[in-house]
Structures are given as C-alpha cells and as structure tokens.
A and B are shown apart, each in its own frame.
Chain A
Amino acid sequence: MKSQDSEILPERLSPQWLTENMPKFEKQVKASNLNLDCSQLQHLDSLALGCISSLHKTAQSHGHQLKLQGLKRDLQPELAKVVSEKENKTIVNPSLFEVAGEGLVKLWSELRSVLFLLSESIYWSTWGLRKRKTILKGETVKQMILLGSNALPIVALLSFLVGLTLAIQSGLQLSRFGASIYLASGIGISMVTEIGPLMTAIILAGRSGASITAEISTMVVQEELGALHTMAINPLHFLVLPRFWAMSITLPLLTICAAVAGIVAGWAVGVLMFDLSTTIFFKTLIEAVTVDLIYKSIFKSLIFAWIISLIAISKGLQVRGGADAVGRATTSCVVSCIFIIILADAGFSFLFYT
C-alpha cells in the first residue's frame, strides 16, 4: 500500500476498502501531512469525493495538509468544486453568550407575540365587540364543541379517577385518627381549588392546545393565511377570536365538571369504604367549599384558558418551514402551556392562600 510516504488509492474506492483504510488515514492526517497517490484513481464517485473531502477537512482542522498526487486532470474540477463548497459551508460554533442571547431574543419575540394576541383578543372581546369583524357566524360554537365539549368525557373520567385515588389515600390516613369525616372537606377543597382547574387545563393543553397549533401552523405552511388576507379576512378575527372565546367559556365549565366528578368519587369512597352518611358528607363539603373558593377556581381556569389558547395560536402563527416545523410547534405548544400553567398555578396559590 505504501510507496514513498504516499498512500495509494485504488482505481475505484469500494465501501469495503474505505472501511478498512479510512481510520488509518484519519489517524495519519491528524498526526502529520498526508500524501495520497491518486494516479490509479479512475472514478471520482461519491465515495471517493466523500473520502477526500472528509480527510481534507480533518487535515485543515489539525493544521496539516492533504496532498493529492497524480490526480487525473479531468477529475480535478469536480473535486475542487466539492472541496470549495464544503469550505464555504464551514459552520462556526456560536459562543455561550451568543446562544444565550439568541434564546433571550426568541423568548422576547414569543412573549411579545402572546402579549399582542392577548391585547387584541381582550380589545375585540370588550370595546371592539360591536365593531364589524371578519368572522364566520357560528364559528365560536363550533370551536366550543370541538375544543371543549368533546373533551368532557376524558376530563370527567380522569378527574373521577384522581378523586377516587385521592379519597382512598387520604381516607385511610384520616380513619387512623378517627377523622374520616374530614374526607369530604379535603376532597372538596382540593378538587375545587387545585386538582379540578389544573387537571382540566393540562388535559386541554395536550388535547385542544395541540390541535389549535397543528391546525393554524398547517394553514400557515400551506399559505392559507395569505389567502385569508387577500380575501380581506383578518386572520385575528377569523382564527384567533373564535378559539379564544371558545376556550374562555368551555374551560371554566369543564373545570366545574371536573371538580364535581372528583367530589362524586370522594363521596362514593366515603360512603362505601369509610361508612360516612351522604347527608354528613355533603353538609361538611358545603361548609368547607365556600363561594369565594369557587370564584377563585373559575378565575384561575379562565386565566389557564387564555394561556392555552394564546400560546397555541402564537406557536401556530410563528411556524416557518414544512411538516417538521408543524410537529415541533405542536410539541413546543404543549410543553410551554403545561409549564406556564403550573407556574401560574403556583403564583395563584401564593396570591390567594398566603
């Protein structure tokens, strides 16, 4: 193989030859200059181009030279083109500060987009309610059914199961101290103030938020928003308002349903497992769950509805690219919604109960 410190390339590079020799060449070029005798090389196919280009790059990064000897004149232009294109495409890794800065700019851009949508949605839902809007009649009801009503079975079922588990666990502990009666107040308060709003919001973020982002981002990718614009239809009216209104109405209603389902599960556990009477259970429950708590819960769920709808719409509108961008936006929407909802919930707990 070796002749006068030159590695001889065969007539045509086969995958097997490359597998056997490439590691050796790479090792050599990292350590010193490498001479390749190309006089026998007849075909500069993809494998040969890839091999030479890769060795050239490794040599450059280690401050060494890759010398090609005896390369046929008619093969030279093609090789020069590949190597120069590769050099032009050299990517400089950004520094930590650049990455952090880019992240901050992106975050600010997303925040600005959500705040813009929030201000516009609130304006068109209040002062601008009577102004002419390019919106389809019945669209809000359609969205309420799609985003909200269709989620009722899954929300009710999951809340019932969580209520059931919570009641069994807390009932077992309370019964050890002869305080099973407090099961009613415990389940009631936790379902109304925390689990009801949070569970419903998280389910809707995964179900309806993802659906909104996927739908809008697909429309963006397929130029449907441009088409709306050229028909003098404001996408904010046509797409944002029906979804914003639908979520604002259905999420608080679903939250109430979730709380009721959880309480029903708690009642069933209390009566069947801990011998509580129905009358005492509901008497204790009504004493514990005040109207004030219900208002706070509904307020929380309204804010969660805004978070889900505005983040989902914003993520959808910001999509650039193709089908993969739609997938990324949908994932990002669900993750962002859940994160912000839990953050907001912590904030509400601090605000309301400390």
Chain B
Amino acid sequence: MNPLVEVKNLKAGYGNKVILKDVSMLVQPKEIRVVLGGSGCGKSTLLKNIIGLEIPQEGEINILGQRVRWGEEQLASEFMQKIGVLFQNSALLTSLTVGENVGLPIRIHHPQLPQSVIEEIVLSKLGRVGLAHAFDLMPNELSGGMRKRAGLARAIATDPQLLFCDEPSAGLDPVSSQALDELLMELRDSLSISIVIVTHELDSIRTLCDRLTFLSGGYVVFDGTLQEAEAQGPQEVRNFLSRKAEEDQSKASNVQFNLED
C-alpha cells in the first residue's frame, strides 16, 4: 500500500529558529497516526508544515502520492480539497452560522450546486457528528465539545481522504473527550480515511492510536505502535508515557477525592 502522507527529511521552523531538524514520517491508508512529544518539540509545527500553513525550510512532503508545493496556488488548492483539518479551537468563522460554516467549502468549490442540495449535504454531515439541530446556531452559542464536533463536520464536508486534528480533546471534559475519540474512530471506519492527530491525552492515545510518532529535539525518536513504545521504546518515550499515566491517575484520584468530599 502506498502511504497517503510521506514526510521526508523535513527541516522547519520560524525565521532563523529551527524547530524540526530532520523529521520523516509515513501515514498509511485507514491509519490513525498520533504525533506525540513534549511541549515545544514541534508537533504543531510538523502539522502546520504538512497542511501548508508554514512552508518547510528543507525536505519533502508527499500527499496522496504527489509532492506538495504550497507555493503553487492551483496545486495547493487541489490538495486542500482532499484533506480536512480540525483546529484546536475549531476555528469556526464566527460571522457565519454552524450550517454556513460546514457548507462553506462546498459553496466555494461547487458554486453550481443548488442551495437545497448543499443544505442536505450539510445536514448529513452535521447529523454524523450529532449536531443536526445546530444548523442555524451561531458558533458562540455552542459548547466547547459542540464547537469541536461542528469543526469536525466542516473538516469532512468535502469528503477528504485525510483528516488532520490538532489537539482534538484539548479543553474538553473526559466524557466529551471520549465521545469525540469514538466519533473519530467511527469516521475512520465508515469513511475509510486516514487521521493524523496531535495530542497529549493518554486516554485518547490509547483509544485511537494505530501508530505513534514521538518527536524530541527536532528529530523522530520513536515510530511504532503504542505497545512497542511501552515495551521497547527509548527510555525518553517510556518515561513520557509513564509520567503521563501517573499524571492522569493523580487527576483521577483528585476527582475521586472531590467527589467523596
């Protein structure tokens, strides 16, 4: 199987500051790839370079078998229509309703479609994420979890083959976070898409991860499954995963304490 995303020897950063020194990564079809690492290790930078929000300093990015050149507008536009992105803060356009937000990429790229057809597509996408009732609501009328799901509906509006998610569980309560993870799994299975997720949440990683890429010091220090990482990964990766587990346990005990109180 040909990989859907192929990152080769990527060097990236901001101005003179180099964040990613030499990063390579593959994403296979129908795979959920989790990008993990400490704060400031360049996870978001990697994501931004793959989706074209930043231009790589060196290296090569291939998406769906073709080399991406974000500087070439026409080519970039074609790629963009094949990918969906869920931003950390959802990035819904606050001046548009939820329905208009989800329908925006369809209205722009298929202006010949009748409004009634676009509305039906939007309703089906919103229905998938359990937000059909929110069609006419404004983004600021939604809760954090609902905004994430609306962002997800917009990300899958043009039936992408690849979905990128930046910290999807950030700022959500455990129940909403679990629901979103299950939704992502369901979308992967029903739409046969690949998903790249940048996250810190160990619960999410355990639910979602097929393979993980661990970044540190601008390099990939581990690439494999979660089980491999925990069993035979570098000490740094095992420490990271176990520390996160301890943190999560302490959080859980705090919650328990509060409840008992």
Distance in angstroms from B88 CB to nearest chain A CB is 8
Q: Does A96 contact B (CB under 8 A)?
A: no
Interface residues of B (CB under 8 A from A): 51-53, 73, 76-81, 83-85, 87-89, 91-95, 104-105, 107-109, 111, 154, 158, 164
12 residue pairs from A and B, CB less than 8 Å apart: A134-B108, A134-B109, A136-B108, A137-B107, A218-B94, A227-B93, A230-B51, A230-B85, A230-B164, A231-B104, A232-B109, A233-B108
B157 — nearest CB in chain A belongs to which residue?
A: A231
**How would residues 279 to 301 of chain A score, 1 for a CB under 8 Å from any chain B CB and 0 otherwise?**
00000000000000000000000
In contact, B93 and A232 (Cβ under 8 angstroms): no
Residue contact A231 to B91, C-beta cutoff 8 Å:
no
State the CA gap A238–B104 with chains docked (Å): 11
Binding site for B on A (CB under 8 A): 134-137, 215, 218-219, 222-224, 226-234, 238
Distance, CA A226 to CA B49, complexed state (A): 12
B91 touches A227 (CB 8 A): yes
Complex: how many Å from CA A231 to CA B77?
A: 8
> Contacts A136-B107, A136-B108, A226-B53 hold; do A232 and B95 have CB atoms under 8 A apart?
no
Distance between Cα atoms of A124 and B105 in the complex (Å): 21
* Most central of A135, A215, A232, A238 by chain B CB within 10 Å: A232
The answer to whether B81 touches A232, judged by C-beta atoms less than 8 angstroms apart, is: yes
A232 contacts B89, C-beta separation under 8 Å: no
Closest to B52 in A: A229
Query: Which chain B residue shows the least CB distance to A233?
Result: B108
Residue of B nearest to A226 (CB): B53
| Least distance between B58 CB and chain A CB atoms (Å) | 22
| Given contacts A219-B93, A226-B87, A231 and B53 within 8 Å (CB-CB) | no
CA distance A233 to B101 in the complex (A): 13
- Return chain B residues, CB-CB under 8 Å to A137: 107, 111
Evaluate contact between B80 and A232: CB separation under 8 angstroms. Answer: yes
B156 to chain A, nearest CB (A): 12
For the complex formed, measure the closest distance between the CB of B101 and the CB atoms of chain A, giving whole angstroms: 9
- Across-interface contacts of A226 in B (CB, < 8 A): 53, 87, 91
Selected from A134, A136, A222, A233, the residue in CB contact (under 8 A) with B91 is: A222
CA distance A218 to B108 in the complex (A): 22
Residues of B within 8 A of A218 (CB): 94
Which one, A135, A222, A227, A230, contacts B83 given CB within 8 A?
A230
CA distance A8 to B107 in the complex (A): 75
Given A134-B77, A227-B87, A227-B154, 17 more pairs with CB closer than 8 A: A134-B109, A137-B111, A215-B95, A218-B94, A222-B89, A222-B91, A223-B87, A223-B91, A227-B92, A229-B52, A229-B80, A230-B51, A230-B83, A232-B78, A232-B105, A233-B104, A233-B108
